[in-house]
Structure 1
Amino acid sequence: MRMVEAFHTCHGRKLFSKYSLKGTPSVIFIAGLGDSSESWDVVQDRISRITSTFSYDRVGVGRSEAAPLPRTCLDLVQELSELLSSIPMEPPYILVGHSFGGLVARLFASRYPAMVSGIVLIDAAHEYKELAYEKILPEKLISVNRAYLENPMLNREKIDKLRSYKEVVDHSRQSNIPLSIITSGLPDGGDRDDGNDDNDGDDGEWPQQEILQMEQRLQAGFKRLSTVSKIRVAGRSGHYVHHDEPEIVIEEIINMLKGMEL
């Protein structure tokens, strides 16, 4: 297996990607807000021994050039589609999305269902999750949480979350694409959103256990997105399951690949 590092121009901006070619399905790794392709190193290296893999830095992240802001989830999907067409990475794709990357994976699969043969969601963000949080947050944190939902300049990639959530909801439909949902089993510091600069770190005010339980309920709801879905709790992991228990993510991807051989 040889990993190729390359830059390709999408919409006039240079984007960095890292990929290996070893047959299909190709496994596409989509990071959470503010995370680069390096977030996938351990898992990508292992899966690259089995099949083709791809990870990349979104605009303004890692080694990729910046772009006019703010942007939406649909912008990210179009960017990924164009980037994949620039390299010899053949479909079908298994999309592996972490946190906000799960929303990108879902929207990509909704727009290009014929190109997607499987989806793995890793502690994936639920649309409008900030509104769900308001049911459990103390009064003094609700305005902070709402500002993070409504103001794109407060997250690491300056993503317009309200427009992005609407895009995902508008395109959402049940499919028969195999879906594996991995949710964390341990509470994190901050508000469990890897894109929130302002609320990272636990100051003792965020109700972490209640947020974990809320996240698990929201993510369990993803099962409705596919007629072939399952959920697994990573009991020793916080939000970054692919760092805390990479073997679980690797196992789910391998099981999905094996299922496609039947």
Structure 2
Amino acid sequence: MVIRTLSQNPWETSTRSALVRISTHSLSISTSGPPRHPGSPVVLFFTGGGAPSALYLRLQRLLSVRHRVYFHDRAGYGDSELGPGDTGIHLGTMLTAQTAARELGELLDVIGVAPPYILLSHSYGAICARAFAGLFDPMQPSVAGMVLAESATELMFELFQPSVPPPAFTAIARGVDIEAVTHERERSRLTDQELAYVKAQLKKSARGSALENPRLSAKRLLREQQFARQVLGNAPLSVICADFTKDFRLIFEAGVRMGNGTRAEREECTRFFEQAQMFNDELRAGQLRLSGCNRFRKVLEEGHSLPITQPEILVEEVQWVVDHLKRRVPGH
């Protein structure tokens, strides 16, 4: 009979949320879920661009039923502070995924939460998660598994220039009641109090979001050639693919009905939608090359906000990763 002890670290056994000081500034992190057994993997979540961890309250709640999870805010997001050099005056001082990865590594060292980790991410958070994975020796099982939900990739940033969505989208979306067409707040199933908290955290996060440079981050990640090197080895990897332009199209159609946008602006958006539809599978499925043990889950009835509106799908994929890991351990 195997007797499994519990960790003595309160950051691995209790529900906690705090601003934690690293070498230069303080970052916000929260944890919840069952107490950790030494050596067992924990789940680290990486939020999307412009999205504080508060936006994923229901995902954290659902994951915590069975898994020890950690949700953090990058510098300038939510309650997390900006570092002393994060001015954004020069390109070199703008926030990158690589900086965020190093700071998370330092944060986890401070609170004493060591590998192995299961990395869970959404949108631009996938660039950050993969930069974090790149901090570890690929020969060591520090990253036990990964779930990439509606993830940005280095190839996506090369394909869609200069932005996602294109600049013309702003003119067409002007005056559109976004909630009325997407129902994202309603589908998030958060309480009024939680929604008020999310709104306040989103406002705080604008500073960090404005300083982040996703394209520079993606270019730096591309140099690592993670696909070619299969950096996760055979760690279980799930890639979730939704219809990432779904909400953009709904907003576009509402804007067109209002008479917004010139003919050229409408055509620019239409080309973007067509291109996104054509390459959606290829952009997502390319990530499967990160690991020899993978699966591709398509949820095309959902849009890019899937972790907010249908977090149950991410919970299922994390469980798939955990189940794979258990089957590899003698006695399970």
TM-score by length of 2: 0.66
Which of 228, 237, 240 does residue 179 from structure 1 map onto?
Answer: 237
Measure, in 2, the Cα distance between the counterparts of 1:94 and 1:183. 19
- Where do 5+ consecutive residues of structure 1 fail to align? 143-152, 192-200
Contact 1:36–1:61 (Cα < 8 Å) also in 2: yes
Measure, in 1, the Cα distance between the counterparts of 2:236 and 2:167. 41
Partner SS, residue 211 of structure 2: coil
Identity of aligned residues (%): 28
Measure, in 2, the Cα distance between the counterparts of 1:249 and 1:2. 23
Could you tell me which residue of structure 2 aligns to residue 188 of structure 1?
A: 246
Could you tell me which residue of structure 2 aligns to residue 195 of structure 1?
A: none
Q: Does 1:228 align with 2:281?
A: no
Could you tell me which residue of structure 1 aligns to residue 147 of structure 2?
A: 120
Change (3 A) 1:22 1:223: same
Q: Does 1:99 align with 2:123?
A: yes
Tell me how far 1:159 sits from its aligned partner: 2.1
Could you tell me which residue of structure 1 aligns to residue 35 of structure 2?
A: 22
Change (3 A) 1:66 1:257: same
Partner SS, residue 105 of structure 1: helix
Contact 2:75–2:208 (Cα < 8 Å) also in 1: no
Contact 2:118–2:143 (Cα < 8 Å) also in 1: yes
Tell me how far 1:100 sits from its aligned partner: 0.7
Contact 1:16–1:64 (Cα < 8 Å) also in 2: yes
What is the CA deviation profile of residues 205-257 of structure 1, one whole-angstrom value per residue up to 9, with x for unaligned ones? 32364224423320111111211111111233110111222111110001111
Contact 1:60–1:157 (Cα < 8 Å) also in 2: no
Partner SS, residue 58 of structure 1: coil
What is the CA deviation profile of residues 39-95 of structure 1, one whole-angstrom value per residue up to 9, with x for unaligned ones? 332222222222211001111111111231312221011011111112132320000
Could you tell me which residue of structure 2 aligns to residue 196 of structure 1?
A: none
Q: Does 1:254 align with 2:319?
A: yes
Could you tell me which residue of structure 2 aligns to residue 164 of structure 1?
A: 217
Measure, in 1, the Cα distance between the counterparts of 2:273 and 2:128. 27
Which of 102, 122, 135 does residue 111 from structure 1 map onto?
Answer: 135
Contact 2:247–2:303 (Cα < 8 Å) also in 1: no
Name the aligned partner's letter for residue 100 of structure 2: L
Name the aligned partner's letter for residue 214 of structure 2: K
What is the CA deviation profile of residues 99-131 of structure 1, one whole-angstrom value per residue up to 9, with x for unaligned ones? 110011112112214311001001000114243
Q: Does 1:71 align with 2:115?
A: no
Tell me how far 1:258 sits from its aligned partner: 1.2
Measure, in 2, the Cα distance between the counterparts of 1:246 and 1:140. 30
Map 1:136-155; keep pairs closer than 5 Å: none
- Where do 5+ consecutive residues of structure 2 fail to align? 1-12, 89-93, 170-205, 257-265, 328-332
- Identify which range, 24-33 or 38-47, moves more after superposition: 38-47
Name the aligned partner's letter for residue 22 of structure 1: P
The number of equivalent residue pairs is 243
Q: Does 1:131 align with 2:143?
A: no
Tell me how far 1:3 sits from its aligned partner: 2.2
Which of 47, 68, 73 does residue 31 from structure 1 map onto?
Answer: 47
Tell me how far 1:155 sits from its aligned partner: 8.9
Measure, in 2, the Cα distance between the counterparts of 1:46 and 1:154. 29
Tell me how far 1:188 sits from its aligned partner: 3.1
TM-score by length of 1: 0.82
Measure, in 2, the Cα distance between the counterparts of 1:190 and 1:50. 34
What is the CA deviation profile of residues 5-27 of structure 1, one whole-angstrom value per residue up to 9, with x for unaligned ones? 11111242111111126222100
Q: Which has the higher helix share?
A: 2
Name the aligned partner's letter for residue 105 of structure 1: A
Could you tell me which residue of structure 2 aligns to residue 150 of structure 1?
A: none
Name the larger-Rg structure: 2
Measure, in 2, the Cα distance between the counterparts of 1:247 and 1:162. 30
